[in-house]
Chains A and B, each alone.
Chain A
Amino acid sequence: MNIFVVGLNHKTADIDVREKLAFNGPKLEDGLQRIATIPEIKETVILSTCNRVELYTNVKNPAKAYESIKDFLSEFHSLDRNAIEKSLYTYENVTAVRHLFRVASSLDSMVVGEPQILGQLKDAFEFALRKKTTGILLNKLMKKAISVAKRVRTETKIAENAVSIGFAAVELAKKIFEDLSTKSFMLLGAGEMAELAARHLMNNGVKDVVVANRTYETGCNLAQEFNGRAVRFEEFIHEMTNTDIVICSTGAPTYVLMKEQMQKVMKERKHKPVFIIDISVPRNIDPAINDIDNVYLYDVDDLQGVVDSNKLERQKEAEKAEGIIAEEIETFQRWQSSLDAVPTIVALREKADLIKKEEIEKLLNKFPVLGEKEKSAVEYMANALVNKLIHPPTTALKEDSEDKDVLIATIKKLYGLNEKGE
Chain B
Amino acid sequence: MGVLSFELALTFYFAATIIATIELFKGTKTTAKIMLLLVVFGFFLHTVSIIYRYAVAGHIPISNPHEATSFFSWCIVLLFLILEFRDKVGLLGSFIMPIIFILMLSSSMLSREIKPLSPVLQSNWFGIHTLLAFLGNAAFAMAFGVGIMYLVQEHYLKSKHPSGLFQRLPSIQSLDEINYRLITIGFPLFTLAIITGALWAESAWGSYWRWDPREVWSLITWLIYATVLHARLMSGWRGKRAAILSILGFITILIAFFGIKMLKKGLHVFL
A residues touching B (Cβ–Cβ < 8 Å)? 160-161, 171-172, 174-178, 267, 269-273, 290, 293-294, 296, 298, 302, 305-306, 309, 313
Which of B169, B238, B239 meets A175, CB within 8 Å? B169
A285 CB, nearest partner CB in chain B, Å: 14
Q: How far is the CA of A172 from the CA of B240 in the complex (A)?
A: 18
Which of A175, A177, A267 meets B162, CB within 8 Å? A175
A209 CB, nearest partner CB in chain B, Å: 20
Using A273-B173, A306-B162 as known contacts, say yes or no to A176 and B157 having CB atoms under 8 A apart.
Answer: yes
* Residues of A close to B163: CB separation below 8 A: 309, 313
Using A273-B172, A290-B158, A302-B160 as known contacts, say yes or no to A175 and B236 having CB atoms under 8 A apart.
Answer: no
Check B162 against A294 for contact (C-beta < 8 Å).
Answer: no
- What are 10 A-B pairs at a CB distance below 8 A? A160-B167, A161-B167, A172-B157, A175-B166, A177-B173, A271-B236, A296-B158, A305-B160, A309-B163, A313-B163
Query: Residue on A with the closest CB to B176?
Result: A273
* Residues of B close to A302: CB separation below 8 A: 160
* Residues of B close to A174: CB separation below 8 A: 171
Does B153 have its Cβ within 8 Å of any Cβ on chain A? yes
Interface size for B (C-beta < 8 A) is 24
Check A309 against B161 for contact (C-beta < 8 Å).
Answer: yes
Query: Residue on A with the closest CB to B241?
Result: A293
Q: Which residues in window 122-170 of B have CB below 8 A to A?
A: 153, 156-158, 160-163, 166-167, 169-170
B residues touching A (Cβ–Cβ < 8 Å)? 153, 156-158, 160-163, 166-167, 169-174, 177, 235-241
* Residues of A close to B171: CB separation below 8 A: 174-178
| Residue of A161, A270, A305 contacting most chain B CB atoms (<10 Å) | A270
Q: How far is the CA of A121 from the CA of B158 in the complex (A)?
A: 40
Check A271 against B239 for contact (C-beta < 8 Å).
Answer: yes
B237 CB, nearest partner CB in chain A, Å: 7
Q: How far is the CA of A160 from the CA of B163 in the complex (A)?
A: 12
* Residues of B close to A309: CB separation below 8 A: 161, 163
Check A271 against B172 for contact (C-beta < 8 Å).
Answer: no
Check B173 against A271 for contact (C-beta < 8 Å).
Answer: no
* Residues of B close to A273: CB separation below 8 A: 172-173, 239
Check B158 against A176 for contact (C-beta < 8 Å).
Answer: no
Q: How far is the CA of A272 from the CA of B173 in the complex (A)?
A: 9
Check A176 against B173 for contact (C-beta < 8 Å).
Answer: yes
Check B240 against A293 for contact (C-beta < 8 Å).
Answer: yes
* Residues of A close to B239: CB separation below 8 A: 271, 273, 293-294
B244 CB, nearest partner CB in chain A, Å: 10
* Residues of A close to B236: CB separation below 8 A: 269-272
* Residues of A close to B156: CB separation below 8 A: 175
Query: Residue on B with the closest CB to A269?
Result: B236
B71 CB, nearest partner CB in chain A, Å: 33
A181 CB, nearest partner CB in chain B, Å: 13
A-B CB proximity, top 4 nearest? A270-B236, A178-B174, A271-B236, A302-B160
* Residues of A close to B162: CB separation below 8 A: 171-172, 175, 306
A164 CB, nearest partner CB in chain B, Å: 15
* Residues of B close to A290: CB separation below 8 A: 158
A137 CB, nearest partner CB in chain B, Å: 38
* Residues of B close to A161: CB separation below 8 A: 167
| Residue of A171, A177, A271, A296 contacting most chain B CB atoms (<10 Å) | A271
A205 CB, nearest partner CB in chain B, Å: 13
B77 CB, nearest partner CB in chain A, Å: 26
Q: How far is the CA of A118 from the CA of B68 in the complex (A)?
A: 59
Q: How far is the CA of A293 from the CA of B167 in the complex (A)?
A: 21
Q: How far is the CA of A172 from the CA of B154 in the complex (A)?
A: 11
Which of B160, B170, B177 meets A298, CB within 8 Å? B160
* Residues of A close to B172: CB separation below 8 A: 175-176, 273
Check A294 against B238 for contact (C-beta < 8 Å).
Answer: yes
